[in-house]
Structure 1
Amino acid sequence: MTTAGSRPDRTERLVLPGVLTAEQAARTVAGIAAGQREDGAIPWFRGHHLDPWDHVEAAMALDAAGEHERAEAAYLWLARHQNPDGSWYAAYADGDAEAPTDRSRESNFVAYVAVGVWHHYLSTGDDAFLDRMWPTVFAAVEFVLGLAQPGGQIGWKKEDDGTERTEALLTGCSSVHQALRCALAIAEHREEPQPDWELAAGLLAHAIRHHPERFLDKSRYSMDWYYPVLGGAVTGAAAKERIEERWDDFVVTGLGVRCVLPNPWVTGGESCELALALWVMGESDRAVSILQWIQHLRAENGMYWTGYVFADDAVWPEEQTTWTAGSLLLAVAALGGDEATTAVFGGERLPSGLEPDCCG
Structure 2
Amino acid sequence: MISRAEVVRTAESIAAIQQDDGGVPWPEGHVDAWNHVECLMAMTVAGLDEPVRRGYAYLARHQRADGSWPMKLVDGVPAELGGETNHAAYVAAGLWHHHLVTGDRAFTERNWLMVKAALDYVAGLQTERGEIVWERDARGRPSAYALLTGCSSIHQGLRCGVRLAELLGDPQPHWELAADRLAHVLTEHPEAFTDKSRFSMDWYYPVLGGAVRGRQAFELLEREWATFVVPGLGIRCVSDQPWVTGAETCELVLALDALGDRGRARTLFSDVQHLRHEDGSYWTGWQFANRKHFPHERSGYTAAAIVLAADALLELSPGSGLFRDLAGTAVFDPEVCGCAAGTGSRVPPQGAEQGETL
Q: TM-score, normalised by structure 2?
A: 0.89
Distance 2:141 2:29 in 1: 27
Equivalent position of 2:307 in the other structure:
329
In the alignment, does 2:26 pair up with 1:44? yes
The answer to whether the Cα contact below 8 Å between 1:280 and 1:345 also exists between their aligned partners in 2 is yes
Distance 1:192 1:338 in 2: 30
Instruction: Say which is worse superposed, 254-263 or 332-341, in terms of deviation.
Output: 332-341
Secondary structure of the structure 1 residue equivalent to 2:170 = coil
- Following superposition, the deviation at residue 126 of structure 1 comes to 1.2
Distance 1:107 1:25 in 2: 30
Equivalent position of 1:358 in the other structure:
none
In the alignment, does 2:63 pair up with 1:78? no
- Following superposition, the deviation at residue 339 of structure 1 comes to 4.9
Secondary structure of the structure 1 residue equivalent to 2:319 = helix
Distance 1:232 1:79 in 2: 27
1:223-251 Cα distance to aligned partner (Å, 9 max, x none): 01000000000001111010011100000
The answer to whether the Cα contact below 8 Å between 2:90 and 2:153 also exists between their aligned partners in 1 is yes
Secondary structure of the structure 2 residue equivalent to 1:217 = coil
The answer to whether the Cα contact below 8 Å between 2:96 and 2:161 also exists between their aligned partners in 1 is yes
Distance 2:117 2:56 in 1: 14
Equivalent position of 1:280 in the other structure:
258
Shift in CA distance, 139/349, structure 1 to aligned 2, threshold 3 Å: same
Secondary structure of the structure 2 residue equivalent to 1:308 = strand
Equivalent position of 1:356 in the other structure:
none
Given the alignment, which residue of 77, 95, 98 partners 1:120? 98
Matches of residues 276-355 of structure 1 in structure 2 within 5 Å? 276-347=254-325
The answer to whether the Cα contact below 8 Å between 1:71 and 1:120 also exists between their aligned partners in 2 is no
What amino acid is aligned across from residue 44 of structure 1 in structure 2? W
What amino acid is aligned across from residue 23 of structure 2 in structure 1? A
Shift in CA distance, 35/173, structure 1 to aligned 2, threshold 3 Å: same
1:242-271 Cα distance to aligned partner (Å, 9 max, x none): 001110000000111001120111001100
Equivalent position of 1:353 in the other structure:
none
1:146-186 Cα distance to aligned partner (Å, 9 max, x none): 11111110001011111211301000000000000000001
Distance 2:7 2:164 in 1: 30
Runs of at least 4 residues off by over 6 Å: none
- Unaligned 5+ residue runs, structure 1? 1-16, 351-360
Secondary structure of the structure 1 residue equivalent to 2:212 = coil
- Following superposition, the deviation at residue 338 of structure 1 comes to 4.0
The answer to whether the Cα contact below 8 Å between 1:42 and 1:58 also exists between their aligned partners in 2 is yes
What amino acid is aligned across from residue 260 of structure 2 in structure 1? G
- Unaligned 5+ residue runs, structure 2? 329-358
What amino acid is aligned across from residue 69 of structure 1 in structure 2? E
Given the alignment, which residue of 94, 115, 121 partners 1:143? 121
Distance 2:5 2:160 in 1: 32
In the alignment, does 2:160 pair up with 1:182? yes
Equivalent position of 1:10 in the other structure:
none
Secondary structure of the structure 2 residue equivalent to 1:35 = coil
Equivalent position of 1:158 in the other structure:
136
Q: TM-score, normalised by structure 1?
A: 0.88
Distance 2:326 2:149 in 1: 21
The answer to whether the Cα contact below 8 Å between 2:24 and 2:300 also exists between their aligned partners in 1 is yes
Secondary structure of the structure 2 residue equivalent to 1:266 = strand
Distance 2:260 2:8 in 1: 27
What amino acid is aligned across from residue 194 of structure 2 in structure 1? L
What amino acid is aligned across from residue 237 of structure 1 in structure 2? R
Distance 2:10 2:71 in 1: 26
What is the aligned-residue RMSD (CA, Å)?
1.4
1:114-145 Cα distance to aligned partner (Å, 9 max, x none): 00011111111111111111110000001111
Distance 2:298 2:53 in 1: 23
Equivalent position of 2:109 in the other structure:
131
1:261-314 Cα distance to aligned partner (Å, 9 max, x none): 201110011000000001001011111111111111111221111111111111
Equivalent position of 1:221 in the other structure:
199
Equivalent position of 2:85 in the other structure:
107
The answer to whether the Cα contact below 8 Å between 1:72 and 1:120 also exists between their aligned partners in 2 is no
1:65-97 Cα distance to aligned partner (Å, 9 max, x none): 11123212211211121111110011112xx22
Distance 1:43 1:214 in 2: 32
Percent identity (aligned): 48
Distance 2:25 2:103 in 1: 27
Distance 1:339 1:64 in 2: 6
Distance 2:83 2:208 in 1: 23
The answer to whether the Cα contact below 8 Å between 2:213 and 2:327 also exists between their aligned partners in 1 is no
Secondary structure of the structure 2 residue equivalent to 1:48 = coil
In the alignment, does 2:70 pair up with 1:92? no
In the alignment, does 2:3 pair up with 1:21? yes
